Amino acid sequence: MGIYLSSPKTEKFSEDGENDRLRYGLSSMQGWRATMEDAHAAYPDLDDSTSFFGVYDGHGGKVVAKFCAKFLHKQVLKHEVYEAGDIGSSVQRAFFRMDEMMRGQRGWRELAVLGDKINKFTGMIEGLIWSPRSSDGSDQPDDWAFEEGPHSDFAGPTSGSTACVAIIRKNQLIVANAGDSRCVISRKGQAYNLSRDHKPDLEAEKERILKAGGFIHAGRVNGSLNLARAIGDMEFKQNKFLPAEKQIVTANPDINTVELCDDDDFIVLACDGIWDCMSSQQLVDFIHEQLHSESKLSVVCERVLDRCLAPSTAGGEGCDNMTMMIVQFKKPIQAASSGSEQSSQSRLTDTDSKSEES
């Protein structure tokens, strides 16, 4: 089987939800790809005052994206600086923590389960006895301590995933991104990118890659990976003399914090399967147009997926897995102070520059 099917899988997984501050809708579709490697997480009530949304676009397999969807939001809550209100530092630590957790015996076992390598009748994973207590991780201690076993020296997965997450707490929006999935906000109908696509030819990415001993060929890291930042991809993170943020490929996310105001309509998080086909402004315009006649946000997402799906695999664009979610703010948003609003405006930049295109 090649990377594309003979006809696309257009069945969609869709979901809607809301609380007193916001409502969301999401949809994902396998499309022309032979496998579905996207994953997502939507928790409007992660805790009493916080909402969490994330999209994860896997490459080389689905397991890292699924691992992030299962664990990343939990790790945001567990870091001590979260309680102190430093969400940016907490989510940054959670990105790095994914790589740490996927190493060793327990990391290998969790990835094996997520990769469907378990025989559910015999309880075996690739010939090893698998303990039923490991089925969902809910009754295991969360310290991820070193475990003895045949895979205790497991260095982590060679596959990887992008991660783009949005955390909303009161009138503050924190966006963390590693890779080329993207978060965009609509403010008075104008699209502003809240993340940047981490491509190897960006100057800052290129500098880190070369200093760490890597190279760029045909726009790809070491001639193979078309991303400069990702979770997983452990073959690019083997330099024992460098910290995690300076490896050839790093999970270190860009963090962008914005004070929300009444001018903000919604945010969109989507994998590059969407952005390959529509610019940030085109997508925001399309959503506004759809919202005139359709109130269910997941249906709007489904229409975007259908619009982006290519009629054939001849061109490449529109042939990827697609996942997107819309998070719409309920008005009125608690007004930010004029100083905070000015600060957030300075972080918002016009979209559709050439460098944003995936």
Query: Using CA of residue 214, residue 220, residue 225, residue 230, what is the dihedral sign?
Result: positive
Query: Using CA of residue 99, residue 72, residue 325, residue 348, what is the dihedral sign?
Result: negative
| H-assigned helices in the chain | 63-78, 80-83, 87-101, 104-114, 203-211, 272-275, 280-291, 297-308, 338-347
Under the banding of pLDDT at 50, 70 and 90, the label for residue 345 is: very low
135-139, 231-235, 329-333: which has the highest mean pLDDT? 231-235
Q: What region, left, alpha or beta, does residue 334 occupy, with left being phi > 0 and alpha being psi -120 to 50 degrees?
A: beta
pLDDT value of residue 340: 40
Looking at per-residue pLDDT, the higher value among 354 and 329 belongs to 329
CA distances from 305 to 11, 29, 57, 122 (A): 11, 7, 15, 39
Which segments within 133-219 are labelled E, that is strand?
160-161, 163-169, 172-178, 182-187, 190-193, 216-217
Under the banding of pLDDT at 50, 70 and 90, the label for residue 131 is: very low
Q: Is 132 exposed, middle or buried (0-12, 13-18, 19+ CB in 10 A)?
A: exposed
The tokens describing 112, both together, are: 């094996």
Asked which of 3-7, 48-52, 315-319 is least confident by mean pLDDT, the reply is 315-319
Under the banding of pLDDT at 50, 70 and 90, the label for residue 348 is: low
Question: What digits encode the pLDDT tens for the residues 84-118?
Answer: 889 999 999 999 999 999 999 899 989 988 986 65
What is the mean pLDDT of the segment spanning 243-266? 97
What is the mean pLDDT of the segment spanning 340-357? 44
The tokens describing 169, both together, are: 């707490």
Average pLDDT, the chain: 87
pLDDT value of residue 299: 97
97-111, 142-156, 172-186, 320-334: which has the highest mean pLDDT? 172-186
pLDDT value of residue 140: 54
Closest listed residue to residue 320, CA positions, set 289, 268, 278, 355:
278
Exposure b/e, 295-314, CB count within 10 A at least 16 = b: eebbebbbbbbeebbbeebe
Tell me: domain 4-103+155-346, CATH 3.60.40.10, correct?
yes
Instruction: Look at the pTM and tell me if it is higher than 0.85.
Output: yes
Under the banding of pLDDT at 50, 70 and 90, the label for residue 305 is: very high
